[in-house]
Chain A
Amino acid sequence: MAKPTDEHFDPMSHVVPVSLYVTIWAALMVFTALTVFAATVELHIFNIVVALLIATIKGTLVVLFFMHLRYSTKLTMVTVVAAIFFLIIMFSLSMTDYLTRAWSTSIH
């Protein structure tokens, strides 16, 4: 039955060293400064690409290390992938509608 005192059970065998958390924090701060700086440079359409790329790098660091996804079960990883997957479906299907509406007005 229940074995709450199981010697082998260590719910977080991965106690991450403080230095790793501080490194992630430093990286997040650097990327924040970088994204503010990048916004002052004229890159035309690539301004938004750079901004979202930096945000995604920062988000990935937060999810993998602060949220321990790197050390989580496959089930948890699948849950996160499912969230991204359905988010992409919502964005892409919505935009295929809105971005293609002008065609019909030009035809008429």
Chain B
Amino acid sequence: MATSDMGDIQVAEHALQHHFADMEQQQETSTFGMWMFLLTEIMFFGGLFCAYLVYRASYYQAFVEGSQKMNIWLGATNTAVLICSSLSMALGVRAAQMGKPKLMAVLLLITIVFGCGFLGIKAVEYHEHWVNHEFPGPNFHFETGDPAHAATDPVHTEIYFSLYWAMTGLHALHMVIGVGLVTWIIIAGLGGAYSRSYFTPVENVGLYWHFVDLVWIYLFPLLYLISKKHGGG
């Protein structure tokens, strides 16, 4: 224990920046800064959620028909995969708190596996939408059943798919960045960068990962579960 404590102290001395009084102040400042960044991220995604709200209110039926093209089981599986990745991430941060870099590396590696699993399933969904001409643009094609009795305009369903691709695409981009960040934490952690008294980057990357999970928690019901009973289905 004595040697590990010595190591802790050395890492802490190295980690403390000169403009902070002590490690506690530095840690609090860092957490606050990360939350401020997440606040801007919330507003960033919030703009898309607001656009979704406006168009859903205007073209509800078209959104219902668009959402019925979603594979609910793939979406639900992906939700579960992300929740599992958040658990392993939370346990990884906990391992860092306790000064166990190897355990942290294993748990964060599991997080990466779940993260890549999410992206893989998402890629399968994207491919399905692509071959079904459900990508907005010149090749977009949407059958609204019997054209004579069609209640919706395909243009409005195209708006649903524009928002679907934009929101899940931005989310997937955040996942890709997250996988990169977690990889960096694993490498730095195994190199002895963190200790029981200094693991701020681990904590902050954890916050980022959970935030991305949080966005999906809202995306899933809003894009996949609008209504199974309404519309033509």
Contact = CB atoms under 8 A, between A and B. Distances in A.
Interface of A: 1-6, 9-12, 15-16, 18, 21-22, 24-25, 28-29, 32-33, 35-36, 39-40, 42, 47-48, 51-52, 54-55, 58-59, 62-63, 65-68, 72-73, 75-76, 79-80, 82-83, 86-87, 90-91, 94-95, 98-99
Contacts of B53: 91, 94-95
Interface of B: 9, 12-13, 15-16, 18, 20-24, 27-28, 31-32, 35-36, 38-39, 42-43, 46-47, 49-50, 53-54, 57-58, 72, 76, 79-80, 83-84, 86-87, 89-91, 94, 97-98, 197-200, 203, 206-207, 210-211, 213-214, 217-218, 220-222, 225-229
What is the predominant secondary structure among interface residues of chain B facing chain A?
helix
The 9 A-B residue pairs whose C-beta atoms are closest, nearest first, are: A51-B221, A39-B225, A25-B87, A4-B12, A79-B35, A83-B39, A4-B16, A12-B97, A83-B42
Contacts of A98: 54, 57-58
Given A21-B91, A66-B210, A32 B79 contact: yes
What is the predominant secondary structure among interface residues of chain A facing chain B?
helix
A91 B23 CA distance: 39
B184 to A, nearest CB: 20
Contacts of A87: 42-43, 46
A73 B32 contact: yes
Contact of A47 (B214, B217, B227): B227
B91 A55 contact: no
Nearest to A5: B9
A73 B31 contact: yes
Contacts of A79: 32, 35-36, 39
Contacts of B39: 79-80, 82-83, 86
Given A9-B197, A39-B227, A32 B27 contact: no
Given A18-B91, A21-B94, A95 B32 contact: no
A67 B203 CA distance: 9
19 contacts: A2-B21, A3-B23, A4-B9, A4-B15, A4-B197, A9-B197, A12-B97, A12-B199, A18-B91, A21-B87, A32-B80, A39-B72, A47-B225, A54-B221, A59-B217, A62-B210, A66-B86, A79-B36, A94-B50
